Structure 1
Amino acid sequence: MSLSSLPDEFEIIERFFHRPTRSGLVRNSVGDDAAVLRSPRTQDLVVSTDLAIEGVHFLPGEAADRVAARGLRAALSDLSAMGAIPDSYTLAITLPESIDETWLTAFAQGLAEQEELFGITLTGGDTCRGPTLSLAYTVIGHVPMERAVLRGGARPGMALLVTGTIGDSGYGLRHRLAADPFWSEGEAQALDHRFMTPPNCNVVMRHLLESGVVRAAIDVSDGVIADAHHLARASGCGLEIDLEALPLSEAVARRAQIEGALETRKFAATAGEDFEILMAVPVVEIDQALAIAREHNIALTQVGLFVEGEGVHTRFQGQPVVVSHPGYRHFSGPK
């Protein structure tokens, strides 16, 4: 059954996207002209929108449930960086003629699995036909009033820390675009999983927020160096990053040993799509941050130091390194 054989968008919405509410802050689900959300008196609302477009953010022909998971988890990563608890989301979806009932069923199931995992409710959106599969997720959460972690709170002398490992997603995408015989079958599958399944840093970031140790944060979408630059610029200071300190998975570390540590780490630092969290933490509070991360089985690694001045400066084995393309830009490619 193709898209044109389904009666209309209202049946699509009713059959595939109608949901019971999961959050006490959501008064109604899909079906009204707009969602009605309760705003806790002692909380600030946190809202972010992310696009996921076929051929840009994921490859054509990708499994529907994986498309759903990747798009929603990537959007929720922005709330994680702010230390916010996710409550609900809306989804505006453009469906090409090639989409059929089987695809929609799998896509809706993929969304439902993530909704259960994160405890969130789909509250509305829009559905239409178009030439390209396009998904716009608007995620909504809350955080204690005036406690959201912003980008501008870093100060000279603070450390730059990052969750998880860096570069897996970039290598996963590169392998998808052109199969690389370097990787074992298991490594290729793991890297592919990292590209299609952004990590869940929400719980650990909320506990770091509660502890007060994180002063600034951003999720890594365009690349460690590019996104670290956003932190430094917003905070009015400079930043030194040690490429040698970047946390790598076993697979990427093996590549670094065989094909060159510097080039591998440059790629890992600039490929993007990691959706890990970069954060500024006072040096005297690093141990506390590491302990909180360990409690939630999240790796946390110091990779840099905020300094007086401006710009991001990279080093490897103690020597300055020029990185000509620090990250991805949608309107000019890597730059």
Structure 2
Amino acid sequence: MVLTEFELIKHCFNWPQNNDDIICAVGDDASIVKVPNGYDLVQSIDTQVADVHFPASAPAQLIAQRALRCAISDLAAMGAKPQAFHLALSLPKNTNQTWLESFSKGLHTCANEYDISLIGGDTTSSPTLVITIQVQGIVPSGSALTRNKAQIGDGIWLSGEIGKSAAALDSILANPSAFIENTCDSHDSELATAYYYPQAQIALGQKLIGIASSAMDISDGLLQDGSHIAKASDVCLNFATADIPINKRAIALHGKEAALELALSGGDDYQLLFTAPQDAKETLINLGCHCIGQVQEKSSDWLILNGQPLKNTIMGYQHF
């Protein structure tokens, strides 16, 4: 690496600020950000490790896009408007300036898309590339969406198709650069886009305020993340697989049964999973959402799939 730490920050990450809430950002000991009157501050942190969360040999700009989008998705799950983020980069010593410039370009492009400002961070040397992003946003006071308020009788909803990212994983691991080199066909490109460019559902999350009773984003798989809502709300989620929206290309590539398994447990979807009262059905359908089940009173099970309780099953990605 040719640049010193402070030269790196100035060259790659000292971007112009156009957010009036940002008082002090990159280049000082800490950042200073205003929280507007009548709003709560929403914060989340996400760490991604090379060859655990993404291929280390993937193009730098795609790694950056994926890392920031995944972090921003947590704000969508709370109904928050993105405001700012911190970035901590642990870099191998052989990281070159070209890689850093490409990473910065991808990160900046994504930040502009979601109108979120880089306000600080840290860099250090590490044997493995590690990216940690802390995001923050704002939500009208007392209105944030959480996991713990699902009500018996609510519908269970998804914001869109799931399983696309997991369906692309084998081909991405086989050739991490194929997507940016345009060597994969148009259909596989659709799946790879879901992996590298997950769409944080920011606009929908804000529209769900006052409608959804509980919500979260799907990062570790529908079943595993669904169990978090069930446990937090002390209810049972009853899913109907026939109603789960699964991408047609994923079905064509893997077969119907395997594509369903990817949708249930594959993860990396970053769609919103939420519950809402039955009288919100028409509104949610008009928003393009899909009803995939109903909240029930908990007996001995957190999740039911097509009438069958799920017990002692690994339902999604396990970090440990």
Same fold (TM over 0.5): yes
Kindly indicate whether residue 140 of structure 2 is the aligned counterpart of residue 144 of structure 1. yes
Q: 1:321: Cα distance to partner?
A: 7.3
Q: What is the aligned counterpart of 1:252 among 236, 250, 253?
A: 250
Q: 1:132: Cα distance to partner?
A: 0.7
Distance 2:257 2:185 in 1: 25
- Cα pair 1:21 1:28 within 8 Å, conserved: no
Task: Specify the alignment match of 1:296 in structure 2.
Answer: none
- Cα pair 1:244 1:265 within 8 Å, conserved: no
Are residues 322 and 233 of structure 1, via their aligned partners in 2, closer, same or farther at CA, if it must alter by over 3 Å?
closer
- Cα pair 2:167 2:259 within 8 Å, conserved: no
Q: 1:175: Cα distance to partner?
A: 2.5
TM-score by length of 1: 0.88
Task: Specify the alignment match of 1:22 in structure 2.
Answer: 18
Task: Specify the alignment match of 1:97 in structure 2.
Answer: 93
TM-score by length of 2: 0.92
Q: What is the aligned counterpart of 2:114 among 105, 115, 118?
A: 118
What pairs with 1:149-228 in structure 2 (closer than 5 Å)? 149-178=145-174, 185-209=185-209, 212-228=210-226
Distance 2:174 2:293 in 1: 32
Q: What is the aligned counterpart of 1:314 among 300, 305, 308?
A: 305
SS at structure 2 position matched to 1:326: coil
Task: Specify the alignment match of 1:283 in structure 2.
Answer: 278
- What per-residue deviation string (whole Å, max 9, x for no partner) do you get for residues 117-172 of structure 1? 11111000101111111110000100000100010110110011011111000011
- Cα pair 2:70 2:200 within 8 Å, conserved: no
- What per-residue deviation string (whole Å, max 9, x for no partner) do you get for residues 77-136 of structure 1? 000000000000000001102311111111111111111111111000101111111110
Distance 1:136 1:22 in 2: 23
Task: Specify the alignment match of 1:48 in structure 2.
Answer: 44
SS at structure 1 position matched to 2:208: helix
Q: What is the aligned counterpart of 1:233 among 214, 220, 231?
A: 231
Tell me the amino acid that sits aligned with residue 320 of structure 1.
Answer: Q
Distance 2:106 2:56 in 1: 17
Distance 2:157 2:296 in 1: 14
Distance 1:248 1:140 in 2: 31
Kindly indicate whether residue 319 of structure 2 is the aligned counterpart of residue 330 of structure 1. yes
Distance 1:55 1:127 in 2: 20
Instruction: Give the CA RMSD over aligned residues.
Output: 1.6
Task: Specify the alignment match of 2:67 in structure 1.
Answer: 71
Distance 2:118 2:317 in 1: 30
- Cα pair 1:158 1:306 within 8 Å, conserved: yes
- Cα pair 1:170 1:272 within 8 Å, conserved: yes
Kindly indicate whether residue 61 of structure 2 is the aligned counterpart of residue 61 of structure 1. no
Q: What is the aligned counterpart of 2:269 among 255, 270, 274?
A: 274
Distance 1:65 1:164 in 2: 25
Count of aligned pairs between the two proteins: 309
**Structure 1 gap segments, 5+ residues each:** 294-298
Q: 1:178: Cα distance to partner?
A: 4.9
Distance 1:266 1:105 in 2: 38
Q: 1:265: Cα distance to partner?
A: 0.8
Distance 2:258 2:168 in 1: 17
**Structure 2 gap segments, 5+ residues each:** 176-183
Are residues 60 and 15 of structure 1, via their aligned partners in 2, closer, same or farther at CA, if it must alter by over 3 Å?
same
Tell me the amino acid that sits aligned with residue 293 of structure 2.
Answer: G
- Cα pair 2:158 2:274 within 8 Å, conserved: yes
Distance 2:227 2:245 in 1: 19
Q: 1:289: Cα distance to partner?
A: 2.0
Higher-helix-fraction structure: 1
Distance 1:272 1:200 in 2: 14
Q: What is the aligned counterpart of 2:289 among 300, 304, 307?
A: 300
Tell me the amino acid that sits aligned with residue 206 of structure 2.
Answer: R
Q: 1:187: Cα distance to partner?
A: 2.1
- What per-residue deviation string (whole Å, max 9, x for no partner) do you get for residues 173-213 of structure 1? 1222358xxxx82222211111111113101211221xx11
Distance 1:242 1:265 in 2: 12
- Cα pair 1:20 1:29 within 8 Å, conserved: no
